[in-house]
Amino acid sequence: PTPPPQPSPPPQPKPRQVPKPPPVPIRQGNPVLVLADMNGTLVHRSKTRLNCKAEPACEANKTFYYARPGAKDLIQFLLHAARTTEEGRRRVVFAFYTSMREANARPIADYLTGGRRVDIYERKFNKADPTGENDYDTMRDLPSVWNSVKPGSARGFTAENTVVIDDTLRKMRELPHNVLVVPPFEEDAVKKGTDDIMDYVKVYL
């Protein structure tokens, strides 16, 4: 007898098209990526107005932001270095790197840049610190910064050409050779008004 016809195989689903990420930008002139922490490095945040001569640079989200002396000059220096054509000086790509939410960081960032829009790598570009004293302690997650499409200033950079300015070595202990550690800018330093660390950072860079 003739064998019964075999059923047709079920149709195979078409492979899902995965969108390709944007290409990594080609960086001309061998630039260096400089990422600056904000609270404790460039600014001091306070829930109350401090009783001192220093005036807050801005007030936002019920928080007073005191800029570190020289911080604005340092940021302007780095922004100028983004366009440098000086022989022997590497071009700089600059962005802020913070554990704050961008909405909280944007007002003081705009003050430091003089209103120029600069990328902020906010809290989601950090990761939990398993050994932190507090449950909110974070560490830097630089691979997520280098691979980010939006914001994209740091896309394509690596540990070979990245410098992070931070007041906390613990956050950068996975890449200790990529951090320039500065003393923390705290309330006492705001009140004294004599901090000059940013001048040394500028000279070093």
Average pLDDT, the chain: 89
Model confidence at 22: pLDDT above 90: no
pLDDT number for residue 16: 65
DSSP state of 83: T
Closest CA to 104 of 86, 90, 91, 123: 123
16 CB neighbour count, 10 Å cutoff: 5
Model confidence at 6: pLDDT above 80: no
Q: Is the peptide bond before 15 cis (omega within 30 degrees of 0)?
A: no
pLDDT number for residue 84: 62
Query: pLDDT tens-digit profile of 59-99?
Result: 998 999 999 999 999 999 999 987 766 666 678 999 999 99
How far from chain centre, in Å, is Cα 84? Answer: 21
What is the pTM assigned to this prediction? 0.84
Closest CA to 140 of 176, 105, 95, 89: 176
pLDDT number for residue 135: 82
Both tokens of 176, joined, read 């200790």
